[in-house]
Amino acid sequence: MPNPNYSILKNLIRLGTPWAVALWMAIIPVSAQPNGGVRIRDIAFLHGARGNQLMGYGLVSGINGDGDKNPNYTQQAIANLMQRFGLVVPPPRVTSKNVAAVIVTAEIPPFSKSGSKIDVLISAMGDAKTLQGGVLLQTPLIGSDGKVYAVAQGAISIGGFSASGGGSSVTKNHPTSGQIIGGGMVEKMIPVTLLQENTMQLVLNDPDFTMAARTAEAINRKFPDSSRAVDGGTLMIELPDQYQSLPIEFIAQVQALEVTMDVPARVILNERTGTIVATSRVRVSSCAIAHGSLIVSIAQSGTVSQPNPLAPNGQTVVVPNTDVNVTEAKGGLIPFAEMPTVEKVAAALNSIGASPRDIVAIFQSLKQAGALQAELQVR
């Protein structure tokens, strides 16, 4: 018989009562709570079902006087374009102040058919100041095999601007690059092969032996004896007999299965920005951390010295004045007797006023001392 308090808690949750949400998560059965798994489709892809990169060289017209300053390749491209329409003009006589040579890039997704629309990115190749107001002329996009798979054309959206006048200029974002949403049209389909002798390959985005074994186990629970891990990044999956004529339905069910993630112990440090990211599995062995800083500030100022009014050869001079101050902050020693988590270490370092850059140096020292039980990556 259902608990009558369930309906009361549900009503409180609808009203936004915070403690009711926590209480509800505590009393419902464990099997009904989310297990924290991730879908296979979010951590792996099928071999063969991948996108392909395309690239092309084109021209953008309609730029208000801020185009290329007549480089040879832009002049030649404009002359070739005019020749296609029966106009023969020598390249040196072509001006390109309203035109810019650009590189067009795009990625064609798998299973794209002829006529499908794709997004394209445009970036200036020459010395154009901006692409604002420009229109990309029809540009063929080729793959790594040199064949044309799509064409691109349309008005460019740059998401910024550049303006100048009276010796002043203002620039927002990057006016020399932009995009055209749906500006590319697929002209040739790229064939995709998913099955080979009723077997497909599943490739993990981040190869890992534990995740490969867990993924194979999750698939075998749903489809017994259908999957096996070949290595840390590849799984071989055999199509069950009942899905011989329904491979797409089988793939959809496999991708919807959930796997519990095995996150490695890793600390990412960015010295340029002071950013620190650590996973929950990071542990620190017994150690002691001391933090202190020495600040030396040097300020130089000028003092004007006036001569005596009655001095015959007096001159006004600037006398430099230098002040040197040395400040040493109080150091702190933090002992860790047990193996703490990275959260405890970060909280302790924050309590003594360590800056992000100081914490970066401390984590590097912990790794050198062998106390940091995690992979350390410095960017």
pLDDT of residue 235 exceeding 70: yes
Gap between the Cα atoms of 49 and 112, Å rounded:
11
Query: Given this model, what pLDDT does residue 373 score?
Result: 81
Q: Which residue has the higher pLDDT, 255 or 316?
A: 255
Kindly state the tokens that stand for 129. Answer: 């100041």
- pLDDT category at 26 given cuts 50, 70, 90 is very low
Percentage of the chain surpassing pLDDT 90? Answer: 36
Mean pLDDT, rounded, for 372-379: 82
- pLDDT category at 56 given cuts 50, 70, 90 is very high
pLDDT digits (tens, 9 = 90+) for 168-192: 666 667 789 999 999 999 999 888 8
User: Other CB atoms closer than 10 Å to residue 244's CB: what's the count?
Assistant: 10
Query: Given this model, what pLDDT does residue 340 score?
Result: 64
pTM (2 d.p.): 0.66
